[in-house]
Structure 1
Amino acid sequence: MKTTLQALVLICAAALTATACSDPTAGGGADTAPAAKVDPTAKLDGVKLTMWTAQNTVNAPRQVIDAFEKATGAEVDTQAIPDLYEQNVPTKLASGDKPDLMFWQPSLSTLPFIQPQQNLLPLDGEPWTEKLGDTEKTLGVIDGTRYAAIVTSPAMLGVYYNKDVFRKAGITEAEFPKSYDELLALGHKIKDTTDAAAFYEAGGDKWPMQWQMQVQLTDLDKQWWADLNKNKEAWTDPVVVEAVTTYKEKLLDAGLAQKNYRTGTFTGSADALWNGEAGMVLNVTSFQSQLQAKYSTEEINKKLGWFPVSNSTADGMYSPDQTNGVVAFRTGDEKRQNAARQFLAFWLDTDYEAYIKAMKIPSVQPGVPSPEGLPDTSKAQIKALPTANGVFQAKAIVAPDTHLYLAEMIYGKKTPKQVAQAIQDQFAQVAKAQGAPGF
């Protein structure tokens, strides 16, 4: 979500091979015949696997790696790729460097940048695939072929709120919004009855600004997104322009954000909400992760709550990120390739319950209960996931850097119409570089 796509365009256009950024919806290149079943705990003495991670997720697979090495005798070496991860990984792949395993965002917009048809092992038919929840089953799949194992639940987008601020404003659960308009009305109630800002917006870090716009696009149907991906619809659609305009005029210009929203930060949003300086923050699960790193479950339950919202319903939104998916590469070494598949089978079969308990995260498998002790905000997100709408990263073949153009808007450099046009221009540029039909 923080990636600059122009850099990826250059990688696709110049650095990779001629087929590197081919149509993400086209088949070919991958042998999708079912692979032989693997025993998750079979001995692998002397086998060494390499796993690439982002700098902030280098310790995420530690529990499962330790358990796998102990059970099999294999060695799994993690290598942290410098930020920006989504930019530097394709560059390393273009140079000929290739791991056995890698964290990667399993979305329609990001998975194609690593050439799944040419580079990755297909994972259809693996025993863990049918254990995934309905939403998780839709991730990591390109043209009907699964290329990513889903090891964590996609981030949930919704509203974190300060319970004390809501009490001061006289807001009860019965008033939780069932539409974006009702969410803004809630904001006005906070603004009019308390000293807190209704929302905290992080214009300094930019990327969180996209969420206010995204929530308003949830009424666009599957056909609209399908047509967008074929260049039959565009981001300049009046619905998109209206969403940007509403964010500017009815939230920012209306004084519903904190005074320093142009320079606000992601970490600042957590502090402001915790201290009651803001009543609400619209953000994804990484917002909660920073709170859990500082406060106990009991403290979070006492101080904060969470509810889902979309444009015209009370549904949440899910947002895939690079911690959700793990891919296995075609290395040409059959022994290592089978070991990589065995590692994934061990992760999602043998060790999965121990892994999520150690990580204190929700389960992606309905048959495996989430660990006890999760904050109520996390439990609310688990409950909302089955009916959640996907963010545009999960629906569009390219995820434009909307936050960069919104940042220009808050400094008066772009109008809402110009923001929409910039989004469309970048979307078409990257889609063309990928060789997507219609562009």
Structure 2
Amino acid sequence: MRNMGTESSRQLARRVKRNIFFLLVALTTIGFFGLIGPFLLTCFWGAVLAIIFFGVYRKLRVWLGGRDGLAAGLTTLLVVLFVLVPLALLTLALVEQAIAVYNDIQAGNFNTEIIFDFVDDNLPRVASALSEFGVSTDDLRTNLNETVGQAGQYAANWALAFGSGLLNTIIQFTLVIYLLYFFLVDGWKIERALVHTIPMGDNRERTLFARFALVARATLKGTLIVAFVQGAIGGIMFAFLGIPAALLWGVAMMLLALLPVGGSAIIWVPAAIIMFIQGDITSGIIIVVVGALIIGLVDNLLRPLLVGRDTQMPDYLVLISTLGGIAMFGLSGFVIGPTLAALFITVWEMMGRDYGGQRALMEGHTVQAPAVKGPPAAATPPPTSAVPDPPHQ
């Protein structure tokens, strides 16, 4: 009896120590993430860029005879020269045009009432139909003027905020580049350490890392390529037609193209209507043809090819996760949202496969486990891991 009591006391002491240790792990983890909270998005973008450009790093590493640091440095330099520098120049030009548009709005150079003038002069039946619903064109004029004024003020505030926060922006980009270098060099070690440390099962963790890398790569590359192509075509078209602030409208179309629904048509459709109202039929036809056939074709062909197939998610889930991600995380949400949705689906598929079928069998029923689009639990580590092991020297 005394031995049994001593063994129970030891087991109780071990459980207390274990619980205290896990509590300490939880508290220190929460404290650490709270400490680096302002830089979590910076870490996220450093990891995503490492995933995107890991193929370049791996080829350079082989070419340089396995010198990790030099290959990572060259990859980082290529990212700076071909991604960040053009992005910085584009942002500066965008700020200049945003301020110019605001000044034009303040000076009254934009006729924001042209559509309602056209309705009053040429479509009186539409005006009378609106009045039956308690809506007058005068009220719409007032609301439109307020909206345009607020949009101009927002553009000006954004430009001023960008200028005042330029130092913070430079610091954030510098940290992203710094983290990109070390994620390229040590990312595979970090992934291996996480897989071996997190008590969830190594195959599950590798599957989650692989799904994260797959969706982040597909969403970033696919969505950005589609948005950039649509914005570039729209901006070039506006510049060719002599529409003021073509760069600003092109960037606006690019940002709106990040949304799976609506997209750049939110810009070019009203532009075509305004051209028709102004009597510039040729420009209106060009906008409609280019917008519907070329820009729309780019979206319909490239988006499913680059995004939908790799993420293996239905369009409606991509839409709501993108909108939710943008609402919660800002512009970074167009990558974070679909990535979280894909991880959500993967985790639930794992639970259904690993526990749902077993529970049914324990109850005397035979239920087929749901199909999992990722690699099976007993499979070898997937080759699409977030940061694969470097090639053997």
**TM surpasses 0.5:** no
TM-score where L is the length of structure 1 = 0.21
Task: Say which structure is richer in helix.
Answer: 2
Please identify which structure carries the higher strand content.
Answer: 1
Structure showing greater radius of gyration is: 2
